């Protein structure tokens, strides 16, 4: 067996050839990577994976009709901000001049706020229409439906939750998802169903991503809920969840300390007392996450049943 030693200039040519090949492969890989990153999802599995990732990130609401870059979205947001701040408040039965503060943007997109004219609303249908016509809350722009109420308007018990979820937003009714199914079972445990109660929320529109309602959103829509309570005139209010209890009781105390303690609250207009007992309890959605707390919730249900008998 013989071994041939290549000339030195051949080694240089081989080195250059390998270098060129590596460079070409690197360019091909770079181009392929960029195309893969910018390619549209074409298969069912790719689309499902992309949608699943968006849901995990809390992106479950489409704010525009067609795809847009981040820069375009930011530009649009700034334009809306400037236009709305420079736009004078529209005149109407539920309008009032009030400039939105920087710390509550983008909760308020306009200067429209529910005014004292809500006292002229005498029926539930009129209240619902007033809320449909109200454009002062940004939640309306991202929600699919107004979630007004469910149940029997003549019932002694008024259940007030926090805010609609995804199922409620799609159907336009409160407590129809997993938490609503648990609520039905809770009511059945004390011999009640939805024909024996009236159900609503402190917010009629779903916050994006099912986040907790902000204090600005709650304060903005409080006049509607207050008028809602006045029209129903329940014998007792069953406040479910921390946001609901804190609003109705005008406190910052947590729900774990508030639950089970009845307080009488005046929901009447000036000079017209309208005292209604409020019983705070744990929200069914919380009970789904913390099933060990169902025993405390059951004690609250027994208290609710006793109050209705009295």
- Measure the CA–CA gap between 210 and 178, rounded to whole angstroms: 14
Residue 45: the pLDDT is: 76
Q: Please tell me the predicted confidence (pLDDT) of residue 40.
A: 56
Rounded to two decimals, the pTM is 0.67
pLDDT per residue of the chain (310 residues) written in tens, 0 to 9:
555 555 555 556 666 677 787 778 777 766 665 555 455 556 777 777 777 666 655 555 565 556 555 555 444 444 444 344 444 444 334 333 333 333 333 333 333 556 558 989 999 999 999 999 999 999 999 999 999 999 999 999 999 999 999 999 999 999 999 999 999 999 999 999 999 999 999 999 999 988 988 999 999 999 999 999 999 999 999 999 999 999 999 999 999 999 999 999 999 987 788 999 999 999 999 999 999 999 999 999 999 999 988 6
Distance CA 304, CA 290 (A): 21
So what's the pLDDT on residue 46? 74
Closest C-alpha to 99, from 90, 107, 91, 89? 89
pLDDT computed for residue 94 by the predictor: 38
In this structure, are strands 150-151 and 197-201 parallel, antiparallel, or unpaired?
antiparallel
The reported pLDDT for the residue numbered 128 is 97
**pLDDT of res. 50:** 72
Domains of the chain: 147-309 (3.40.470.10)
Contacts of residue 226, defined as CB under 8 A and 6 or more positions apart, other chains included, come to: 267
Counting Cα atoms < 13 Å in the Cβ hemisphere of 61 gives 21
Whole-number Å distance between alpha carbons of 279 and 301 = 10
Give burial (CB, 10 Å; 0-12/13-18/19+) of 203: buried
**What angle (nearest 5°) sits at the alpha carbon of residue 139, between those of residues 138 and 143?**
130
Task: Spell out the SS3 assignment of 192-210.
Answer: CCHHHEEEEECCCCCCHHH
The DSSP bridge partners found for residue 240 are 281
């Amino acid at each position: 067996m013989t071994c041939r030693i290549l000339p030195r200039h051949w080694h240089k040519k081989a080195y250059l050839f390998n270098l060129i090949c590596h460079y070409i492969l690197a360019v091909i890989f770079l181009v392929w990577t960029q195309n893969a990153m910018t390619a549209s999802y074409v298969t069912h599995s790719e689309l499902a994976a992309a949608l699943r990732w968006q849901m995990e990130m809390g992106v479950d609401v489409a704010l525009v009709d067609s795809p847009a870059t981040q820069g375009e979205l930011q530009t649009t947001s700034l334009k809306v901000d400037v236009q709305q701040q420079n736009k004078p408040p529209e005149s109407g039965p539920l309008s009032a001049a009030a400039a939105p503060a920087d710390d509550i943007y983008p909760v308020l997109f306009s200067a429209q706020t529910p005014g004292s004219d809500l006292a002229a609303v005498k029926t539930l249908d009129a209240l619902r229409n007033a809320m449909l016509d109200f454009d002062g809350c940004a939640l309306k722009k991202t929600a699919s439906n107004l979630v007004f109420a469910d149940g029997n308007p003549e019932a002694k018990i008024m259940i007030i939750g926090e805010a609609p979820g995804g199922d409620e937003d799609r159907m336009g009714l409160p407590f129809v998802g997993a938490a609503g199914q648990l609520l039905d079972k809770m009511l059945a445990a004390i011999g009640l169903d939805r024909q024996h109660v009236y159900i609503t929320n402190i917010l009629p529109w779903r916050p994006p991503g099912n986040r907790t309602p902000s204090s600005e959103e709650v304060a903005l829509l409080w006049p509607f809920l207050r008028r809602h309570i006045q029209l129903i005139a329940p014998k007792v209010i069953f406040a479910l969840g921390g946001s609901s209890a804190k609003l109705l009781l005008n406190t910052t105390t947590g729900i774990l300390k508030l639950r089970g303690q009845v307080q009488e609250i005046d929901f009447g207009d000036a000079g017209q007392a309208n005292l209604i007992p409020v019983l705070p309890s744990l929200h069914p959605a919380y009970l789904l996450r913390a099933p060990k707390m169902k025993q405390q919730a059951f004690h609250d249900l027994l208290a609710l049943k006793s109050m209705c008998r009295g």
